[in-house]
Every structure is written in structure tokens, then in C-alpha cells.
Amino acid sequence: MREIHISNVSGVNLEALDEGLRALPGAPVVGISLRRGALIVHLAAEADEAQAAAIRSLVRGHDPQKPSAAQQARKTRDAQLKSAHDDALSARQAASDGATLTLAQQVALLTRRIDWLEKLLEALVKGEKTL
Amino acid sequence: MSPVWHTPLTWQVDQLVTEADLNSQLRDNLGFLKDPPTAFVSLDEERDYVTSSNSFVDVDRERLALSLTTAGGDLLVVFFGMVKNSARDGGGSFDVALDGSRIGKDDGLIGSVIVLTQWQPVSFCALVRDLAAGQHNLHLQWKRSHGKGAIYLSAGADTSFADYHPQFWAREIS
């Protein structure tokens, strides 16, 4: 196995950088490590100099603020859950305030609250949320 | 100076016991048993370590490394630390490279599935049998398991609620 050491690295988004490196053509990347401020890229023994150069270039251009696909999906999921939660709270308030609601209106409010619970349960089952 | 082990003599009737015999057989050998070859590392105030490697790599070739000279026999190798994985159902595996060869082989000495991405303890005591006398080098190695996330090792780095101090050591025990 080969290693590329890059010293004095700060602000690494490990998940995003790992994803980007593995997506390189030929992908000789076994993984990356952080040791006392240094970034180490682990490469398969057969990695050639062109691949090593592509890796160095990608690391130099790494933006830790840019999320990985999985991080972006989690962010979107969190936003959807928050929105559903806010909507459920608002539905609960509307139900308690509306003494003259029709049955259809009450069902609609209840459906909004169930929708949030469904989303929350799904996220818990997938491990995207913990209790 | 490190204590030296001398192969015990078989005493004969009427054998003259010399100063050299007593010093080597009693003083030196008792000193060796009291203070056997040992190498010890404990981390404090380092940065936490992390890897996303799918193959075994050194955790830290300089710091989590042991070097000792043995008299030949069994070697006890111990590690404990707190680890986590950034991914649910991710995990990590640990092994030790002894003079460049992993003693656990395959998936290593020990593996851990980390269900809820929380810090959890990992430890092992490994016995290396019949190790030849001489200088030996040991390096702690790890990899993520299940190809998920990245595995972290707390290294006493003042990490909030995870300021744990791993130990890695080896001692000749026979």
C-alpha cells in the first residue's frame, strides 16, 4: 500500500473528501486518515503517479464547507422533518382552537400530525435520527 | 540498564558457586522477572484519530508504536480505547503489526459494530507465543468495517465528553 502525506491540514470534511477521492477514475484510494494534523491518503500499491497527482490536486481544491451527497441528503431530510414537525404543531394548535371545525377539517389536521409521525418513524428506522 | 535474562544453570553436587553465578542467576534473573521487557504508550492531549480506510493501516506509526528487546518467549499485547463510527452500523477492526506482519490476520484481532455512532470501548489482550529473542516493533493498526463511515479513536484531546486516554502496551511474560 502507498500513502500520500499532506501536512498541516485544517478543516477537512472527511466524509466529503473520502467520497470525492473514491470517485476518481480508477479509484486507487483505500481510504484517508487524519493523524495529528496531517492528512494521509491510503492508496493501492498499483496506484500510478498520474493518479497520485490527481489525488493531490483534489485534496488541494477540497472545500470542507461543501457537503457530501450523504451529508446533503441528511440535511434535506432534517429540513423535511423540521418542516413536518412545525406543521404538526400548527395543526395541533388549530385543532385545539377550532371548536366549530367540521369532521373533514379535523381529519385533515389529524392527517398532518400523522404525516410528521410517519416521517419521524421512518428516520428512526433508517438510523437518521436517534431518540 | 535493562535487566538481562540468563538461562538458569543446573547445579551439580560440590559445584563451586561463584560471584558471577550468583549475580547472573539470582540478581540478574530476579531483576529481569521484576522488570521484564515492556513498552508502553498512553495518549494525552493529542488530536483524535480518524480513518476511512477499508484496509488495515497504522493508527499512528510514530506515537502508537512499541519497541522492545525480548529474551525469547511469550509476549502479551494490550490495547484499550474509546472509538466511534460516523455511520450507523459502521464499525472498526483492530490488529497489531508485529515486525511488519499482522498477528491477527484476516479481519484482525477484534472488530466492533457501532450501532448508534456513540463512543464505545474497544479492548483486547493478545498473546504472541514463542516469540524469538531480539528487538521487536509493534504498531497498532485499524480499519473501518462494513465499508461505512469513518472510525474515530479518542486520544485525550479534550473532545467534549470524550476526553479518553487509550493505552497500548506489550510485556514479555514468559
* CA atoms of B58 and B139, how far apart (whole Å): 6
Give the up-direction half-sphere exposure of residue A110: CA atoms within 13 A in the CB hemisphere: 7
Query: Total structural domains in chain B?
Result: 1
Over chain A, what HEC string results?
CEEEEECCCCCCCHHHHHHHHHCCCCCCEEEEEEECCEEEEEECCCCCHHHHHHHHHHHHCCCCCCCCHHHHHHHHHHHHHHHHHHHHHHHHHHHHHCCCCCHHHHHHHHHHHHHHHHHHHHHHHHCCCCC
Model pLDDT for residues A38-50, shown as the tens digit of each residue: 999 999 988 888 8
Q: How far apart are CA A22 and CA B24, in angstroms?
A: 59
Residue B64, pLDDT > 80, answer: yes
List phi, psi (to 5°) of A13: -95, 90
- Burial class (CB within 10 angstroms; exposed 0-12, middle 13-18, buried 19+) of B7: exposed
Backbone phi, psi, residue A91, to 5°? -65, -40
Shortest distance, CA A35 to any CA of chain B (angstroms): 6
Q: Is residue B144 part of a domain?
A: yes
Specify if B30 maps to a domain: no
* Predicted local distance difference test score (pLDDT) of residue A10: 76
A127 contact residues in B (CB cutoff 8 A): 88-89, 116
Whether residue B5 lies inside any domain: the answer is: no
* Cα separation values, A86 from A74, A81, A82, A83, B82, Å: 18, 9, 6, 5, 37
**B129-159 pLDDT tens trace:** 999 999 999 999 999 988 888 999 999 888 8
Is B4 contained in some domain? no
Distance between B79 CA and the closest CA of chain A, angstroms? 18
Task: Tell me which of A12, A40, A42, A43 to substitute to probe the interface with B (most B C-beta atoms closer than 10 Å).
Answer: A42
Answer whether residue B18 is part of any domain.
Answer: no
What's the Rg (C-alpha) of chain B? 20
User: Is B20 a member of any domain?
Assistant: no
Residue in the structure block whose three cell numbers are 484510494: A29
Nearest to B166 by CA among B66, B85, B95, B78: B78
- By residue range, what is the domain housing residue B43? 38-172
Residue of chain A minimizing CA distance to B51: A33
- Segment B13-61, tens digit of pLDDT: 999 999 999 999 999 999 999 999 999 999 987 789 999 999 999 999 9
Q: Is residue B138 part of a domain?
A: yes
- Model ipTM over 0.90: no
Chain A interface disruption, residue of B48, B52, B144, most A CBs within 10 A: B52
Rounded Cα gap, residues A109 and A105, in angstroms: 6
How far apart CA A87 and CA A120 sit, in angstroms, is 13
List CB contacts (< 8 A) between B53 and chain A.
30-33, 42
Does residue B11 sit within a domain? no
The residue type of A4 is I
pLDDT for the residue numbered A74:
83
pLDDT at B1: 62
The whole-number average pLDDT for the span A4-17 is 88
pLDDT at B35: 94
Please judge whether A127 and B63 are an interchain contact, meaning their C-beta atoms are less than 8 angstroms apart.
no
**Of A18, A64, A8, the residue nearest A39 (C-alpha):** A8
Of B109, B124, B64, B97, give the one whose Cα is nearest residue A1. B97
> CA-based angle A35:A38:A39, to the nearest 5?
95
| Out of A108-117, B107-116, B123-132, B136-145, least confident range | B107-116
Whether A130 has its CB under 8 Å from any CB of chain B: the answer is yes
CATH code: domain of residue B136? 2.60.120.40
- pLDDT for A123: 85
Per-residue pLDDT of A80-111, as tens digits, reads 999 999 999 999 888 888 778 888 998 999 99
Q: Among residues of chain B, what percentage have pLDDT more than 90?
A: 78
Is this structure's pTM higher than 0.90? no
> Residue A37: what are its φ and ψ, rounded to 5°?
85, -5
